[in-house]
Structure 1
């Protein structure tokens, strides 16, 4: 029987999550709910849970503090957050489970299902290590985990030149002539990267504004700093130009 621990300081939310787990995951043994990082670390060492339902902000620290205090990640994690937090992107960039409070029951059930899928343990540990690295980096330097051909690959957000919509997903064009096919639509990454200087410049392209060399108004192209030119939709020219000069000195 899998063991699950709820780490959440809101008593009402503790009860809600507990009821969802009891109803939808009767195969789980619920170890209970705690409110503090220190309490959670103690139970993790004593009970070795298989899953944590973990709020980002806690009275005595953060979810990241908790993970840094645990030597071995013998568990999966579903993160929760009830307010805007810059660390949310770090979690989503790392491709681990996340739900925004208040959430629908189906949101939490889906996140738990995904977390408990039989994925390679080394791969999951890799995702958590990327997460902890991201938590200590400025936004533009964070790493993004992409699902690629049955595995995961982490690349620096700053190394991504542009994303291209293709059949079955998207292609991330990275510096040094590299590219990655990702089986997710470009709109997913457009939303995920929206706060980090990425903008849709054409129905098929999302560009990293920090990697633009120049805008060609006549030929409606965006020239990237490594030499490639990508289409710029005419009606997007002024928006891209404005955002580019806001971000790039």
Structure 2
């Protein structure tokens, strides 16, 4: 079967990193054709509008701006993104919430191959999800805008964080209960979501994370239990009790 060609642009401020990535792509990902390179945010926005690539390798931190500034300037474009970054806890949380693909520096050839293959599948599927917009919203310190992209059998589903009432561990899966009464089952451990979701999400039990905006009552006890807006009663483990109470302090 013929491999679909992917037109790509590299946005990276370090010449050595650009050359290394180009060499890796030429040798290990021949389906990728690099059609342009930008070394700063301003040039990147102009080049992306000019070339309109299918894929962008986007350095997260650059002089006089960052990847999120580039995405803001390209809201009208539709391309897939593989972020390239040195470790940054806040940036990685935004990327992970958005189910974005990223590579940590120095770039691993094996991880590069996997990321390109997965993005290539997304380009072929054309699922209509604007992942870059989700990344932009999740990078803003505004809970009202933040979203999760949940992997499903058919692809992805986007949900607003503020609409998530609670999450329950279910073996290798997590059940996500929404404000509208719907439930979504995702093939991820509860620990995965504990690492992604910050306040107002609080873990109150080995099997439960809740959005405290939906707490109606707390009943005291060794650990006690909470009553949520939908009437559900969720046990609070003694070991998580103080964590819950601090969230209301």
TM range (shorter): 0.7 to 0.9
TM-fit CA distance, 1:191: 1.8
RMSD: 2.8
Q: Give TM-score, length-normalised by structure 1.
A: 0.82
Whether the 8 Å contact between 1:35 and 1:59 is mirrored in structure 2 is no
Q: Select 2:61's aligned residue among 57, 60, 71.
A: 57
**Out of 45, 49, 67, which is 2:49 matched to?**
45
2:206 aligned to 203, 224, 227, which one? 203
1:220 Cα deviation after fit: 4.5
Instruction: Give 1:170's aligned residue.
Output: 174
Deviations 1:196-244 (A, max 9, x none): 343443332233345443254247434334431123334x2xxx23222
Q: Which residue of 2 aligns with 1:242?
A: 242
Q: Is the 8 A contact 1:162 1:174 kept in 2?
A: yes
Residue matched to 2:32? 28
Whether the aligned pair in 2 keeps the contact of 1:144 and 1:155 (CA below 8 Å) is: yes
Specify the alignment match of 1:228 in structure 2.
232
Q: Distance in 1 between matches of 2:141 and 2:94?
A: 9
1:121 aligns with 2:126: yes
Give the Cα separation in 1 of the matches to 2:245 and 2:205: 18
Question: Displacement of 1:162 after TM fit?
Answer: 1.9
Q: Distance in 2 between matches of 1:206 and 1:32?
A: 44
Q: How many residue pairs were aligned?
A: 243
Stretches of structure 2 lacking an aligned partner (at least 5 in a row):
none
Report Cα offsets for 1:84-116 as digits up to 9, x if no partner.
253432332222212333453323322222222
- Match of 1:21, SS state, is helix
SS at match of 2:129: helix
In 1, the alpha carbon distance for the partners of 2:75 and 2:206 equals 46
Q: CA offsets per residue over residues 44-95 of structure 1, 9 Å max, x none?
A: 2333322111012222322222223236434211112214253432332222
Taking structure 1 as reference, are residues 32 and 129 closer, same or farther at Cα in structure 2, changes over 3 Å only?
closer
- CA separation in 1, counterparts of 2:43 and 2:237? 54
Q: Which residue of 1 aligns with 2:21?
A: 17
